[in-house]
Structure formats: C-alpha cells, structure tokens
Amino acid sequence: VPWLSVTARGGGRYTAYTNSTDEARLAFTDDSLSRAYGEAGLALVGPSFSRIYEGELGRFGRFKHVTEPRVDYEYVSDVDDPLRIPVFDEVDTALGRNQVRYAIVNRLLARPAEAKTGGATEIASFEIAQTHAFRLPQLASQTATSFENFAAKTGPIEGALRLTPGALFSLDGRVAYDTHVERITATSFAASVNWKTNYVNATWFGSRPAPVAGSTSSARTDQIRVAAGVDIGKSFRIDTQLNYDAQQNRLLEDRSLLTFNGSCYSLFLEVRQLRLPPDTRRDYRFVVNLKDVGQLLDVNGSLDRLFGGQ
C-alpha cells in the first residue's frame, strides 16, 4: 500500500544469572536465577499529507510540511520474580506491558537555496501523542503504588517540539498534560550548541505528578543539567557535567574528564563528586589505552580515602 508503512517485529530474551538478590535488593543470595520473556511490536505510519512552500529564509529556499499519523503497539510478557534480578543495566529492568501509542507528527523539511550545498533536511517537528495501556503495566513489587493515569490505563497527552535549523544549534521542548487531574505534570527543555568536536548543552526538566491518595507530598522536582566539552590544543580535551536540583537548591553531582591523546596512547582522568544526602562521595578513575591494543590500565577508587573527607 503506497500510503501506509507497516513494520512488525517479534522475539524473546532468555537470561541466566549465576546469582540473585533478596527482594529488598540489599544482598546476594548465592542462588542462580533464569528469566525469559517474549516481546512483539507493530508500527503503522500514514497516510501522509504534504505541501511545498516556496520562499527564502536564511540559507533555505524551499520548504515542505508533512503531516502523518503514527501508531506504535508494544507487548512484553510479564517477568517472574523481578525483584530477585540483579540490576546491572536497562536490560535487567524489563517488565511486562501491553500498550499502544498514537500520535500526530508534523515535520518541516527545508532545502537550501543553493542546490549544490546539500539536499533537504528536517529543521523542525511537532508531535502530539498519547499512550493507552490495554492492561496495567507490571510493577516490580506487588505492594508498589501506581500513578492514577496508569490506573485509568490512559497516559497523559504529550507534546514535543524539536528545532534543528542547522548543525550548530538545536532546541527540544516537551510537555505532558494529565487529563485526569487537568494539569501539566511534566515539562522539559533542552538546548545544544555544537561546533566541530566541541559542545555545550543545557537541560531543564520538572515533574509535578498527581498526588497519590492519602499522601500530602507533591513529589515536585526541578532539575538542571549542564554539560560541555572542548578541545584544548591538539592533545588535551576536557569534558564536564553539572546536575543541580532547584527544589533543594543543591548541586547533586559534578564530574569532569581530562583526556590526553598521544601518538600511540590515550590517558583519561575522571573525577566525580556525588552530593546525595545523607553522605557525599568523591571518586576518581584513571585509564590508559594503547592504540590498536585497547585498555591497558583501569584504576578507580575513592578520593576521600586518599586525601580524607568530611
């Protein structure tokens, strides 16, 4: 069908763990554990509608507006004993779900006025979407509480605006509106500047979830993340990241990475300070890589133990 795109997928995953945790995930039990689950998905895109506009704006000379509906279905079977699975990465946190996400996507493509400078690229998009669960998502614990929007099997209305007028600059804004409590429950805004191998980006994200019945806590969060990376000469590079909690007026984490690239080797020195109550910690990591060989040395530890801490 020329006006409809269909993508289907299916599969499964089996993982064998040589050790497992207690249900509080505080200690290993020395018992092996296996986990298996199946998954499937279906994506429908179309029919698409488009219109071309002539006119110059900056370096662009022609624009194309595309509107297309999109439906994404996702199914994952329930996982047995999820609290006993040791968590190393996102693969170990999979839980059952059966849901569909439907969206209307508007895309704006632009072609340079000078055809020799390149073809059409997407410079902006605006998406409105909502997720509906055919059954409540699986929870890691039977006693865990669920948000009211999931209890109603219908998620908030989500809006996403992306602006990428060129390779140098980009903006991304998102908002979620919960129709059950009639208020905005989550927002985020990100800006990024990139030139050559250097970058600066900043992200603000806040959440104001609906209060759980019987609780007086609003669980409101406002956090800011700033990151930057710059080359210092031909051999040195520094990257840094700061995480700040505006609600607590506290710098939660800062980490910096100094890189030196030699003719046949690379040196990495990373320093991180975590300021999450009740304790803070300062860590370091030093890595030596050899060209065409790989990692030769990886040393990490606590700066507090080396130099003393508060």
Q: 98-115: per-residue pLDDT in tens?
A: 999 999 999 999 988 876
pLDDT for the residue numbered 149: 46
150 versus 30: which is more confidently predicted? 30
Query: How far is residue 235 from each of residues 143, 230, 266, measured CA to CA in Å?
Result: 54, 11, 9
Q: What is the pLDDT of residue 309?
A: 54
Of the chain, the end-to-end C-alpha distance in Å amounts to 67
240: left (phi over 0), alpha (psi -120 to 50) or beta: beta
* pLDDT band with cut points at 50, 70 and 90 for residue 117: low
Of all helices (H) and strands (E), which one includes residue 287? strand 281-290
Whole-angstrom Cα distance, residue 308 to residue 198? Answer: 35
Average pLDDT of span 36-65: 90
Closest CA to 94 of 86, 82, 102, 105: 82
At 137 the pLDDT is 85
CB 229 within 8 A of CB 242: no
Locate the DSSP E strands across 113-142: 121-133
Residue 91's φ and ψ, nearest 5 degrees, are -65, -35
Bigger pLDDT: 302 or 1? 302
Stated pTM of the model: 0.72
Q: Is 24 helix (H, G, I), strand (E, B) or coil?
A: coil
Band of pLDDT at residue 120, cut at 50, 70 and 90: confident
DSSP output for 200-263: EEEEEEEE-PPPPTT------EEEEEEEEEEEETTTEEEEEEEEEETTTTEEEEEEEEEEEE-S
pLDDT, tens digit, 9 for 90 and up, residues 198-244: 999 999 999 887 765 555 555 788 999 999 999 998 899 999 999 99
Span of 116-120, 140-144, 266-270 with lowest mean pLDDT: 140-144
C-beta of residue 176 within 8 angstroms of C-beta of residue 157: yes
- pLDDT average, residue stretch 76-89: 86
For position 267, what pLDDT does the model report? Answer: 94
What average pLDDT does the segment 61-71 reach? 92
